[in-house]
Amino acid sequence: MTKFRTSKCTRISFIDSTILDVCHNRRIHSHKAFKGIAERGKSSTGWFYGFKLHLVINDKGEILSFYLIPRNVDDRDPKVIESLAKELFGKLFGDKGYLLKKISDILYSKGIQLIKKIKKNMKNKLMLI
């Protein structure tokens, strides 16, 4: 796991993740460069062999932090989110991938308001004006 912080928080941040393919699925067994580090996993687009990159940027587009994890680590692991948001404050905008209540509670205890789209069957929480 790798994590870095590069810029300053501006009270408005965005978080998202993407896959980083190391090689095509047909070549996994013959691939040697990341053997023992990269893992096989599944995303919304299908199976892949590689890593998952979590990225947090501010409203200016500057990278605040990123976290590179092997695919066998859960995306919604609270340790990953907590590490990404270590020095953040204000509002953090994310997609449905960060929908767990545990993640919201961790961020709220640090003074970060996670703003995400909710599902139809979820209760809406009031936002501060």
pLDDT digits (tens, 9 = 90+) for 12-51: 999 988 888 888 877 777 777 777 788 787 777 778 888 8
Q: What are phi and psi of 66, to 5 degrees?
A: -145, 160
Q: What DSSP line would sit under 61-112, residue for residue?
A: S-EEEEEEEETTS-TT-HHHHHHHTTT--EEEE--GGG--HHHHHHHHHTTE
pLDDT of amino acid 129:
47
List, in order of start, the domains of the chain with CATH numbers.
Answer: 4-116 (3.30.420)
pLDDT digits (tens, 9 = 90+) for 92-115: 998 877 777 888 888 888 889 988
Is the pTM higher than 0.85? The answer reads no
